[in-house]
């Protein structure tokens, strides 16, 4: 499966960056007490001990996803993820899944822009078996040709069902493509359909040879195992894979445009209107301090009934029926910060956009209160406690962080770092990235059902079902409006 937002991982990140056991925060202890070491072939291994149950989570993270694809081969990272389940000489097609299920375990895989991950959760008694199967396909992936062709049909159907038959998802992908022009983050992870149709075994093997190398992989193990057991086992099974130099990660290339892009679309399969505003902003990897502040600002602005945008626009002014912010700060490059809202019945898109801008302008002009800041951090902590029961969550969090360039130390000390974000930092990032008069690289989306005949006649310039307008940037420095993004 391909991961678009990985919301579960995001929740787990917030949820598990806290000390287990007493469900309280600690300013002195590391969150996970993880240990890390490197095998003789360059593969990094991370152990996250958890002896609550005799279960182990085994995750292999490849530091390459759809952003690493060659032009014309979009979707190959996700396609390869599927083909990794189609057998090797040692373990023929179907053996992997059958064995894991027979042993009472669970397994899956997912692809994102910057990484591909494979995971199994299983009884500690069968840990070595799972590790041997995973290491074998990591090194010897070689599916039969008939499996390749049939699996290509599977991913083509997956795109039809998950994107092409879902107008909101298709529209969202179009917005991302506009936000990340000339950048691989603008491509859908699953790929463009016309390029997916041409993918073959040679493409998959080439991507595998380029990126599935020990030096470009991270093994994350969580659960009831000790380093004294794991280290020699990992060296025996994974360390025996020959090291070889892979590809250099691609450089990001942005189209440097200024001003806003507005995309409007009417779709007969859409039953309610939706408003989007996206900004290109830093991730934890590209600017850690600003990303931490944007994280807290997200909690202050939206995603709870007491947040600024919800209280003002949904409860008080009744301009929207729903509003939330999506900010994915786990990226190797810059990322997106998006506001998504459903306008109320008699609210125009422009009216809602202006109201959002006005709320952000208040933050830029007046800042946030200390009570808001503390409440936001406390809410993030409450989300954490809610999901503390997961055994596989810590491996997911650590793996995703390391695969996108975040250090293990930053993961371990996230609690202290998020608590240290002050009100001035929150005001600064709002002005720096969300200011409606100065923000660059923004995209506004307006998705709606077709207008009724009478409404259509009143609309002057609705000749096209989809229209794109590039608004020039302004030099006016007066602060009045502003708006975020995913």
Which is nearest to 375 in space by CA: 270, 304, 477? 304
Check whether 269 has a pLDDT greater than 60: yes
pLDDT tens-digit readout, 337-358:
999 999 999 999 999 999 999 9
Residue range 320-340: average pLDDT?
Answer: 96
Least confident window among 9-13, 127-131, 156-160, 229-233: 9-13
pLDDT tens-digit readout, 26-85:
444 677 889 999 999 999 999 999 898 999 999 999 999 999 999 999 999 999 999 999
Mean pLDDT, rounded, of the chain: 86
Check whether 379 has a pLDDT greater than 90: no
pLDDT bin (cut points 50, 70, 90) of residue 386 is low
pLDDT for position 13: 43
pLDDT for position 452: 61
pLDDT for position 104: 97
Q: How far apart are CA 43 and CA 226, in angstroms?
A: 18
* Residue 81 designated active-site: yes
Check whether 395 has a pLDDT greater than 70: yes
pLDDT for position 14: 43
pLDDT bin (cut points 50, 70, 90) of residue 392 is confident
Check whether 210 has a pLDDT greater than 90: yes
Residue given tokens 């039969």 in the structure block: 144
Residue range 138-147: average pLDDT?
Answer: 94
Residue range 367-396: average pLDDT?
Answer: 80
pLDDT for position 256: 61
Which is nearest to 15 in space by CA: 1, 31, 38? 31
Q: How far apart are CA 364 and CA 423, in angstroms?
A: 11
Per the CB < 8 A criterion, the answer to whether 233 and 131 are in contact is yes
Which is nearest to 32 in space by CA: 226, 228, 222, 225? 222
Edge-to-edge strand list for the sheet holding 466-471: 320-327, 335-343, 274-281, 442-448, 260-266, 466-471
Higher local confidence (pLDDT), 465 or 244 = 244
Give the helix ranges, DSSP H, for 124-183: 127-140, 145-159, 167-179
Q: How far apart are CA 52 and CA 48, in angstroms?
A: 12
pLDDT bin (cut points 50, 70, 90) of residue 135 is very high
pLDDT tens-digit readout, 1-38:
544 333 433 444 443 443 333 334 444 467 788 999 99
pLDDT bin (cut points 50, 70, 90) of residue 363 is very high
pLDDT for position 248: 78
pLDDT for position 255: 57
Residue range 391-416: average pLDDT?
Answer: 91
pLDDT for position 22: 34
Helix (H, G, I), strand (E, B) or coil at 280: strand
Residue given tokens 């290339």 in the structure block: 253
Check whether 451 has a pLDDT greater than 80: no
Domains and CATH numbers, the chain: 31-237 (3.30.830.10), 260-471 (3.30.830.10)
Please report which helix (H) or strand (E) contains residue 61, including its range: strand 55-62
DSSP calls for 385-439: HHTTT-SSHHHHHHHHHHHTT--HHHHHTHHHHHHT--HHHHHHHHHHHH-TTT-
Residue range 109-137: average pLDDT?
Answer: 98
pLDDT for position 272: 95
Phi (first) and psi of residue 109, to 5 degrees:
-155, 160
Catalytic residue among 35, 69, 81, 412: 81
Residue range 164-169: average pLDDT?
Answer: 95
pLDDT for position 384: 56
């Amino acid at each position: 499966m391909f991961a678009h937002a990985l919301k579960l991982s995001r929740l787990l990140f917030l949820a598990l960056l806290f000390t287990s056991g007493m469900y309280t925060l600690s300013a002195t202890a590391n969150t996970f007490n993880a240990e890390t070491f490197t095998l003789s072939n360059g593969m990094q291994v991370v152990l996250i001990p958890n002896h609550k149950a005799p279960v182990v989570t085994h995750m292999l993270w490849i530091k390459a996803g759809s952003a690493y694809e060659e032009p014309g081969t979009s979707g190959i990272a996700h396609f390869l993820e599927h083909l990794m389940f189609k057998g090797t000489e040692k373990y023929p097609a179907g053996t992997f899944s059958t064995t894991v299920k027979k042993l009472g375990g669970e397994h899956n895989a997912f692809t994102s822009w910057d990484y591909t991950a494979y995971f199994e959760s299983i009884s500690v008694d069968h840990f070595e078996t799972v590790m041997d199967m995973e290491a074998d396909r990591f090194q010897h992936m070689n599916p039969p040709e008939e499996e390749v062709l049939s699996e290509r049909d599977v991913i083509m159907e997956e795109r039809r069902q998950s994107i092409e038959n879902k107008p909101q998802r298709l529209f969202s992908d179009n917005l991302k493509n506009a936000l990340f022009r000339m950048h691989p983050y603008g491509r859908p992870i699953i790929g463009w359909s016309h390029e997916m149709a041409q993918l073959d075994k040679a493409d998959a093997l080439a991507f595998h040879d380029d990126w599935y190398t020990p030096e470009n992989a991270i093994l994350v193990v969580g659960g009831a195992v000790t380093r004294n057991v794991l280290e020699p086992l990992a060296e025996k099974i994974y360390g025996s894979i020959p090291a070889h130099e892979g590809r250099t990660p691609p450089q990001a290339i942005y189209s440097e445009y200024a001003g806003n892009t507005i995309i409007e679309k009417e779709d007969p399969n859409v039953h309610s209107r939706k408003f989007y505003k996206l900004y290109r902003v830093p991730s934890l990897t590209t600017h850690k301090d600003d990303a931490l502040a944007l994280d807290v600002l997200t909690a202050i602005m939206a995603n709870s009934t007491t947040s600024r945008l919800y209280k003002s626009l949904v409860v008080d002014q009744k301009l929207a029926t729903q509003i939330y912010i999506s900010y994915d700060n786990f990226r190797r490059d810059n990322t997106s910060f998006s506001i998504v809202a459903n306008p109320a019945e008699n609210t125009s898109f422009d009216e809602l956009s202006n109201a959002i801008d006005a709320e952000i302008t208040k933050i830029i002009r007046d800042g946030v209160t200390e009570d808001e800041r503390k409440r936001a951090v406390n809410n993030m902590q409450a989300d954490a406690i809610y999901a503390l029961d997961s055994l596989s969550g810590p491996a997911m969090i650590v793996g995703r962080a390391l695969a996108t360039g975040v250090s293990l130390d930053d993961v371990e000390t996230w609690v202290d770092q998020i608590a240290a974000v002050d009100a001035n930092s929150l005001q600064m990032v709002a002005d720096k990235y969300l200011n409606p008069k100065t923000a660059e690289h923004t995209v506004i989306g307006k998705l709606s059902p077709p207008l009724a005949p009478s409404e259509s006649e009143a609309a002057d310039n609705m000749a096209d079902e989809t229209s794109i307008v590039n608004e020039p940037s302004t030099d006016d420095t007066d602060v009045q409006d502003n708006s975020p993004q995913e």
